[in-house]
Amino acid sequence: MLPTQDEEKRTVPLRVDSSIPPVPPLRRSPDLGAIFCCGRARRPREEIDGNLVRMARYTVLNFLPLNLFQQFSRIANLYFALIAILQLIPGLAPTSWVTTVIPLGFVLSVNIAKELYDDYYRHREDLEVNSREVEVLRAAGEVERVVWKDLRVGDVVRIGRDQEVPADLVLLASEDEEGICYAETANLDGETNLKLRRCCHHGEDLAAAGGLESLADRRFIECDLPNERLYEFQGALLREGSGERVPLDESALLLRGSTLRKTAWAIGVVVYAGSDTKIQRNSIKAPRKVTRLERTMNLLVVVIFVALMLLSLFSAVMEQVYGTSFLSGTYYLEFTFQWPDLGPGFGGFLVAFLRFIILYNQLIPISLYVSLEVVKVVQCFFLNNDLGMYHAPTGTRFHCRTTTLNEELGQVKYVLSDKTGTLTENVMSFVWCSIGGEMFGRAEEEDPAGARKLSASGPGSAEKHRVAGDAELRRRLEAEPRKGRSENRRCTEFVEALAICNGVYPHWDGPEGRGSLIYQAESADEEALVEAAAELGARLLRRTTGSCVVEVQGRKLEVTIGAVFGFTSDRKRMSVVGRLPNGTCRVWCKGADNVVLGLLGPSQHCLDTTQSHLEEMSCAGFRTLCVGQRDVSKAEYNRIVAAYEEASSRTTGREAAIAEAAEAAEAGLTLLGATAVEDKLQEGVGTTVEAMLSAGLRVWVLTGDKLETAISIAVSCSLFTSDMPLVVLRGDELPENSLGVADLLGQRLQQVLQLGGSAEKGTGRGRGAGLVVDGAAMLKVLTPEAEDAFLALCRECHSVVCCRVSPRQKAKVTELVKAKERAITLAVGDGANDVGMIQAAHIGCGISGREGRAAVLSSDFSFAQFRFLRRLLLVHGHWSFRRNEQVVFYAFYKNIAYVLGNFYFSFLTAFSAQPLYDSLMIGTYNLFWTSLPTVIFAFTEQVLSAATLEAVPELYADVSGMRRPRLLRNFALWAASGLWHSLAIFWVPTLALGADSDVELLGAAVYTAAIITVNFKISLITRYWTVLMQVAVWPISVGLWFPILALASFMYTTPFRLFPDLVGVPRALFMSSEFWLGSVLLAPTIAVLPDLMTLAAKRAFFPSAVDLFQEAEDAAASREGRVGGDAVLPAGRGSDLEASGGRQMSVSAASRPSPSGELPTASMVLARCGTAG
């Protein structure tokens, strides 16, 4: 009998006997939070699908209705569906239903084919995963092989070496006598370093006969309800009717998707299956982001729809006027007062109004949305395969995780970046340490000022850990501690603490003692510290659940571990409580300096010196930790261990109880020293930051490091200059009152304005001060009363660095900028602590680094190095925005130029709603004669070459400043061009052929002029001509129209009896000189002549920066004998263009004003640490 269910827990019986009856699950009942899941017998319909995982979106039955529902939820598709319905009403439509149904069907079919293709592969993957087999253990040693989808919560499974884990398991046993195993979690978080997992100590030997039955006897697991927290788990293995309780935490959990490594076998019980597993809980699809261009496009659709209604209204009124005034005496044109010719009055007006809506319906381009989707997919293909963003050392390619944000890359104004692993390599090197008030690792002749400039990736010092090469430190460690001086003993205790107080697990790649010792650590900092300790003579040889073996200068010490208080983001420290072989009981602790220093006891003889060293380390840009210890009596040791075990056994409130026990153990520490770990800047970070600043981007760095470390990094990566005045906001210096904080921020703003009065607004150049804010200050400035003043200050500063900030604060800062500044934000990070910031930004970028894949999985774009952000924004952002903007505007333009011919024709037909064009022409205009050049233009056009856009980052402002008013102005110009072209397209052929020409002949002539003109227009805006584009425009889109028209005229003689109105039309047209002169030559020429004149005048008298650089590229291409936009701008050409009167360009960062006023400079802040040269 299972116990009463807890509302916050899941109860899992160990199901080792198939006779256990199935228990129907409770689906998140508000009354019962616990869920029973066991049994493999035939399940009732309401039971969940066990371990079945379905990534496919559709089934065979719901694919078509669900896909069509999603497509018709788009207003444009619904609009054309309503038009098609109107066309089916007998006598109402002036055009055939085919003219709308065929284009709409094509648009819908493209999306259906795309979704079908994608979902087919999802179904294949689902089948492959769900059909894998795993061993399930039953009573009496029976082993049953079942497929993954048939696993149930409570099943006991055995995993072999290198096998993937099929569900979330609590580990019960493993090959290792200590009950440990190694799991690789690359599929979950991208980390290739192995994670150690421990079996729960249940006291049963599963390898013995009857061991499994004994374990399952009246035992069950109580654990958290399913959740998405990958690194958190609380539970207990309980025995009904007894007080037995074995605590469980995340170290006992093997997650679905992880792989068993370096272990022959492991046994575990399923606690979460199928959609309840943590990896599935983290697979929630992110909401679709809508770009600024798409929002503008939706607005334009509304504008065009309103124009369509007004045109239809005017035409309907004119139809009534003509019918009652001008045609009253013409008996064969008078109203019949029968459907649909209802005569004067509301009925007749309504019918006319609907007929004109159908006639003009193509003013809204039917292919707009699907064309944009297709071109974005193709653009993403080229992005993914750009060798300029491929990281060869790791084989990491650029990856678009969404296809909706391409053009948004050209609109970015704010870049918010993490530091560790994003700007830096996250490859740690232990370089300095302070022990007992003495500094080690830094050579006496080393230039302290130079140390501040972090080196980029590349050759470094001879040793990986520079501190290990310090001769004096080695001498002291090698001296006999008992015969040596006290400082020798302090050095030994320091490295002992580094070797013991960590979560690192060593393993040998060969027989123990003869192979190489390899350390597996989840933290790069810990790995560096333990490796350096080993190089200094304190080697961690073995670690088990209750002990560790450390070899110190050849002496092996087996330390009994009583308690381990792990590192958390709240505690910012870890502690180990253990007993040495000589009986000494000790607490070792290491963590953030501001935390550990607060735990020290009185009378610390080296505290002041160590704090000075810590400031020096921070100013050098190093990551710092403090190390402490204290000896405790045996009785206190027992109390600490008992408190730890009691807290660990809780299933509710466990973390708070463990933290409380840790505080008691860590009070009164003795300071041993401090560590300095270097994290080198990634290659190209400095030049990338300089380029982004020159491009007018506002760059903010959000980091958890100390203030001095953050400033040093900012100077190293060119975010700050050493002579730049800084506004430093510390939490302890700000008033507690929010209004007081706002007043203080206003005062700082006035100081900055006095410094940067000549700042070039909106470009990020020439600004006179940097802003540095710590986490405590963030709590005070991110309030409703102070946030506006804070943003005003940020707006006037050159760059912003936020230090000591939590993941939540990173997200809040991003949300604030996004909401208040109304500018496009881009967040970039590499760790799980950056996920909130990445998801909050308009564009989220994940770095594929050493801190897992959490950031990548939550991002829109992922890549290997920060430097690739330069090419992504300056090149692909520029290209994508220009391309997609032109695609959208061209789609509206070409339909305006073509559809308005029907409006003009109405003046010649008494507004009778007589269509000018044949059904063949209406149905194929957007599909065949104007679409192909648009698509090819959208992925081949280059307004400037990649080399020029990267070399001159200021050109990015040409697209990043494109707000909605400017977009609407550009659309107005395109619409005006379409209006003029429509006039030329219609009236020139009409005048050439004569107003008395039959409608089929005139319609074909006007249609031919429209095809030639709109393709001429796209040729004018194309700069980068490729073979594909040349073939698409003239031989296909224009050239094929003539034979297709000729072929259509013969279709009526076939059994299909198609296109009867076109019989004889091609022959009459092609033999008419008026057609060739008017439609083919004069109409397109008259239409595009103003475009040519405007373009020439603009380039000659009002050239933009883009125009000037295009001329430079053309000149360079001519000299090199090339044609097109792939020329590289010659050196020095930028200065020539500046002198010629164009917009001023500068590749290098602008010079900063000299420090003035009372604000300290960056070098002054660093000088307070004693390191400024």
Among 110, 373, 293, 367, CA closest to 886: 293
Find where tokens 């990534």 sit: 55
**What residues form DSSP beta bridges with 862?**
399, 846
What's the number of CA atoms in the CB half-sphere (13 Å) around residue 338? 2
Label residue 141 exposed, middle or buried (CB < 10 Å: 0-12, 13-18, 19+).
exposed
Q: How far apart are CA 1060 and CA 1057, in angstroms?
A: 7
Any idea of the CA torsion for 368, 369, 373, 376, to the nearest 10 degrees?
50
Annotate 207-228 with b (16+ C-beta within 10 A) or e (fewer): eeeebbbebbeebbbbbbebee
Q: Assess contact for 911 and 1053: CB atoms under 8 A.
A: no
Q: How far, in whole angstroms, is CA 769 from its chain's centroid?
A: 30
3-state secondary structure 852-876: CCHHHHCCCEEECCCCHHHHHHHHH
Contact 657, 675 (CB under 8 A): no
Q: Which residues are annotated as a binding site for ATP?
A: 418-420, 526, 567, 590, 623, 703-705, 804, 810, 833-834
- In this structure, the strands spanning 770-774 and 670-681 are unpaired
What are the structure tokens assigned to 421, written together?
């692993």
Q: Is there a contact between 864 and 396 (Cβ–Cβ < 8 Å)?
A: yes
924-961 burial, b at 16+ Cβ within 10 Å, e below that, comes to bbbeebbbbbbbbbbbbbbbbbbebbbbbbbbbbbbbe
Q: Is the dihedral of CA 107, 108, 109, 111 positive or negative?
A: positive
| Tokens of residue 575, six digits | 């502690």
Cα within 13 Å of Cα(1105), Cβ side: 17
Q: Which of 355, 256, 290 has its CA nearest to residue 53?
A: 256
C-alpha distances in Å from residue 510, one per residue of 259, 515, 521, 534, 885:
21, 4, 19, 18, 61
Which stretches does DSSP call E strand in 597-694?
Answer: 623-632, 670-681
Amino acid of residue 422: T
Phi, psi of 156 (to 5 degrees): -100, 120
Taking the C-alpha atoms of residue 250 and residue 971, their distance in angstroms, rounded to an integer, is 57
Q: Residue ranges of the alpha helices (H) in 719-786?
A: 738-755, 775-781
> Could you tell me the CA-to-CA distances from 1068 to 351, 1138, 1172 in Å, in that order?
35, 58, 88
**Residues in binding site for Mg(2+):** 418, 420, 830, 834
Burial of 331 (0-12, 13-18, 19+ CB in 10 A): exposed
The length of the chain is 1173
Strands 412-417 and 698-702: parallel
- Per the residue annotation, which of 119, 168, 418, 525 is the catalytic one? 418
Q: At what angle do helices 368-384 and 292-321 cross, to 10 degrees?
A: 160
Directed axis angle between helix 999-1021 and helix 878-908, to 10°? 160
3-state secondary structure of 580: coil
| 418 in catalytic set | yes
Question: Rounded CA gap, 197 and 254, in Å?
Answer: 7
Known binding-site residues equal: 418-420, 526, 567, 590, 623, 703-705, 804, 810, 830, 833-834
User: C-alpha angle 697/698/703, rounded to 5°?
Assistant: 130
Q: Which of 986, 1002, 1001 is nearest to 1066 (CA)?
A: 1001
Residues with catalytic roles? 418
